[in-house]
Amino acid sequence: MKDLKVIFMGTPEFSLDVLQGLIDNTNVIAVVTQPDKEVGRGNKLSFSPVKELANKYNIPVIQPIKIRKEYHDIIELNPDMIVTCAYGQIIPKEILDCPKYGCINVHASLLPKLRGGSPLHHAIIDGYDKTGVTIMYMDIGMDTGDIISQQEILINDSDTVGTIHDKLKVIGRDLLLQTIPKILDGTNNRIKQNEEEVTICHNISHEEELIDFNDKARNIFNKIRGMNPFPVSYFILNNKIYKIYQTHYEINNRFNNKVNGEIVILDKKNLGIKCSDGIIYLDELKKEGKKKMNIIDFLNGEKDLETGMVANKE
C-alpha cells in the first residue's frame, strides 16, 4: 500500500488517527482541510488539527474556502484514492470522479443510521444502544454512498460523546486500513443503503444545548451525556449559566405539585431538579465564572441556591 497515492480530507481531532494511519501505510501526497480561523482577542490564526499533523510531516496542505468551486488543484494531483473523515464540506462530483479507486469516507455511525454532521453526539442524545464506523464510497448525496465495511460498539450509560469519540476514531483508522487492500484488489463489499432505515443528525445549534426540564428524565440524561465534553449542555438560573457534565436520575411522581425545572432537593450532597417524570440529580457542573466541580465541592461553596428556584424561568 506504500505506493498508493492518497489525498486525505479532514479537519477536527477525530480525523487525526485516520490520517496518521494513512501516513504510516500509504503515500499521502496532500491534505485538504478547512481554512484557518482567527481566534481570541488578538485574532491569532488557528490551524485545524489535521493541518497541524500534515505540517509535522511536511505534507502539502490545500484549504479551499468553497471546495465546490476550488477543486482544480486537487484533481491535478491525480490521486489513486481520496479518503475523507469529518472534512466539513460537500465534495463536488468533479472530485468524486477523479481517483482511480474512488473517494472513500470514514463515517462515525452505522449507516444508514445517523447521516449528517453530528453522529457522535446524536448516537447518545437519540438513545441508541449501539453505534460504530462505516467505510463507504462517496457519492453526491450526504452520506448516501454504498457501504464497504462496518464495525459496531455498544453504548453504555457511562459513555459520553467524549468516550465514543475516542473509541470510534481508533476503530475508524483500523477498519479503514483493513478495508483498503480489499478495495485495491476488488474483493470489497459494495452494499446499497436501505433508504427505509435512514435517520438524519443535523449539526447541534446553540439553542439545542439548553436543557429542557419539560422533557423526560432519560432524555435529559442522554442529552447531557451526548454533549459532554463538547459543546456542553446548560441551564440558566438567576441570570447565571450552569454547564452540566454528569447527572443521574430517578423516575417518580413525588413532586407532581412542583414546576418542571424547579429545585426540589437541596442538601450537602444532592441537587435535584424536577423534570416531567422525575428528578435530575446534578453530579458534575460548572457555574458561570467558576471552575468545573463535583456536586459535593460545588454545594460546599454555593450560597445562591435554594429549593423552589426554577431554572430557565423567563
CB 119 within 8 A of CB 14: no
Cα–Cα dist 222/228, whole Å: 10
Q: Which tens digits make up the pLDDT trace of 9-53?
A: 999 999 999 999 999 999 999 999 999 988 777 778 899 999 999
Full residue range of the structural domain in which residue 255 is found: 206-301
Q: Which of 201, 227, 245 is the last residue of a domain?
A: 201
Considering the domain architecture, whether residues 39 and 165 belong to the same structural domain is answered as yes
Backbone angles phi, psi at 120, to 5 degrees: -60, -45
| Domain stops at, among 167, 201, 235 | 201
Last residue of a domain, one of 156, 172, 201: 201
Q: How much of the chain exceeds pLDDT 70, in percent? A: 100
State what percent of residues in the chain have pLDDT above 90.
96
Q: pLDDT, tens digit, for every residue of 172-216? A: 999 999 999 999 999 999 999 999 999 999 999 999 999 999 999
Is 308 a domain residue?
A: no
Tell me the average pLDDT across 100-114: 98
Q: What is the pLDDT of residue 168?
A: 98
pLDDT over 90 (residue 290) = yes
Question: CA 211, CA 276: separation in Å to the nearest integer?
Answer: 12
Full-model pTM: 0.95
State the pLDDT at residue 39: 79
| 205-234 burial code (b ≥16 CB/10 A, e <16) | eeebbbbbbebebebbbbbbbbbbeebbbb
Residue 311 is assigned to a structural domain of this protein? no
E strand or H helix at 178: helix 161-185
Position 301 scores a pLDDT of 92
Q: What are 41's three cell numbers?
A: 482577542
Length of the chain: 314
Q: Average pLDDT for residues 293-300, to the nearest whole number?
A: 97
Contact between 134 and 96 (Cβ < 8 Å)? no
Report the candidate in 89, 110, 83 with the shortest Cα–Cα distance to residue 21.
Answer: 83
Same domain flag for 92 and 182: yes
Residues 70 and 29 in one domain: yes
The answer on 273 and 126 residing in a single domain is no
Q: What is the spatial distance between Cα 255 and Cα 262, in angstroms, rounded to a whole number?
A: 10
Confidence check: pLDDT of 285 > 90: yes
Q: Domain check: are 117 and 9 in the same one?
A: yes
22 and 40 share a domain? yes
